[in-house]
Amino acid sequence: MLPRVADSLSFLYLDMVRIVQDDTGVCAQIQAAPDRTDLVYLPTAALSCLLLGPGVSITTPALATLARHGTSVVCTGAGAVRAYAGILPDTLTTRWLEHQVHQWSDPQRRLDVATRMYARRFGTDDLPSGPTLDQLRGLEGQRMKALYRLLAQQHGIGRFRRNYNPDSWSDQDPVNLALSSANTCLYGVVHAALLALGCSPALGFVHTGTQHAFVYDIADLYKAKATIPLAFSLHQSTNPEQDARRRLRDNLRLLKLLPAIVRDIQDLLDPSPTSTTGEPDDQPDRHDAHMVRLWDPVAGVLPAGVNYGQ
């Protein structure tokens, strides 16, 4: 039995440290004083995602340990504003990647998944019968405007407008700063869940044209619950970026968001109650160590490790 991705902690953001592997484990070296270096050991096996900000250096043995433990590593900008690159952990099966490609490759199946994504955001009762993608985008835009207006009234902010401009980062108000920071951390957690399941972050159903299209698809399911209310609650914060990251980490643990992310990804890609083997999937969020098989156009799959010579 291998560790379940849904049992992992959410994420850890680090900057201005050196990450090394010693005889005990992976640790962050922090220059606490000119003559003193503190060591903080990282729970690599329990981390879903490690966000590396500016000023971080990491050794090859430390990266190898993170990869073995299935921890995704994402290189980010200051305050985790941008995600520049990621290191994928080793995955044991292509099951969910195959489901994703199967749904994504057919326009009608892709539309069905996109529709189910929108339905999860604001309830099936609010959707018209047989909606087009244009209608869904319009309904989502109205829903977000109404949510911004409601939260602004609750916190006495007045009129709020979403503004994300990395080139003028410091000119943004606290709510926008907190929201951008929290969303980026949420992207890292979703990215880690996708990689742990073996899915491709690039094959999105609503978003397209970026290596993180599917990350944005899944993250949008949770913003109205996890990041937007949090950002508005920090409208008077003097350090909204840091507060957003810390509060989001606590909220992720309280809301148990990571298991929900795993279940939702699996349900969107394969809504049937049975697995690809036809047996009930009673532990869908566990990494199953399947044997490698051979593809066959008639039989579907055949056992590997067999000599098929006549």
CATH code, 33: 3.100.10.20
Q: Which of 41, 59, 87 is the last residue of a domain?
A: 87
Residue 277 domain flag: no
CA atoms within 13 A on the CB side of 129: 0
Q: What pLDDT score does 245 carry?
A: 85
The H or E element containing residue 145 is helix 133-154
Most confident stretch, 40-49, 99-108, 282-291: 99-108
Residue 251 domain flag: yes
Contact by Cβ (8 Å): 271, 208: no
Record the tokens describing residue 102, joined without a space: 């199967």
Parallel, antiparallel, or unpaired: how do β-strands 36-41 and 72-76 relate?
unpaired
φ, ψ of residue 18 in degrees (nearest 5): -115, 125
Quickly tell me which residue has 């350090």 as its tokens. Answer: 239
CA-wise closest residue to 190 among 164, 226, 148, 240: 226
Residue 232 amino acid letter: F
Give the tens place of pLDDT for each residue, 200-242.
999 999 999 988 999 999 999 999 998 999 999 999 998 998 8
Q: Which residue has the higher pLDDT, 154 or 33?
A: 154
Identify whether residues 144 and 261 lie together within a single domain.
yes
pTM: 0.70
3-class SS at 161? coil
CA distance 31 to 17: 8
Identify whether residues 214 and 265 lie together within a single domain.
yes
Give the tens place of pLDDT for each residue, 259-304.
788 889 999 999 876 544 344 444 444 344 445 677 778 777 777 7
Identify whether residues 128 and 253 lie together within a single domain.
yes
Identify whether residues 127 and 79 lie together within a single domain.
no
Identify whether residues 217 and 186 lie together within a single domain.
yes
Identify whether residues 79 and 99 lie together within a single domain.
no
Sheet with 47-52, side-by-side order of all strands = 9-14, 47-52, 72-76, 83-87
Q: What pLDDT score does 288 carry?
A: 42
Identify whether residues 103 and 242 lie together within a single domain.
yes
Over residues 62-80, mean pLDDT = 79
Range of the domain at 262: 95-269
Question: What CATH number is given to the structural domain containing 112?
Answer: 1.20.120.920
Identify whether residues 152 and 218 lie together within a single domain.
yes
Residue 167 domain flag: yes
Record the tokens describing residue 26, joined without a space: 């992976």
When divided into structural domains, the chain yields a total of 2
Residue 148 domain flag: yes
Q: Which of 29, 61, 87 is the last residue of a domain?
A: 87
Q: What pLDDT score does 88 carry?
A: 65
Q: What pLDDT score does 45 carry?
A: 80
**Band of the pLDDT at 123, cuts 50, 70, 90?**
low
Q: Which of 28, 61, 87 is the last residue of a domain?
A: 87
CA atoms within 13 A on the CB side of 220: 23
Range with lowest mean pLDDT among 115-129, 147-161, 239-253: 115-129
293-300 contacts, C-beta under 8 A, 24 or more apart? none
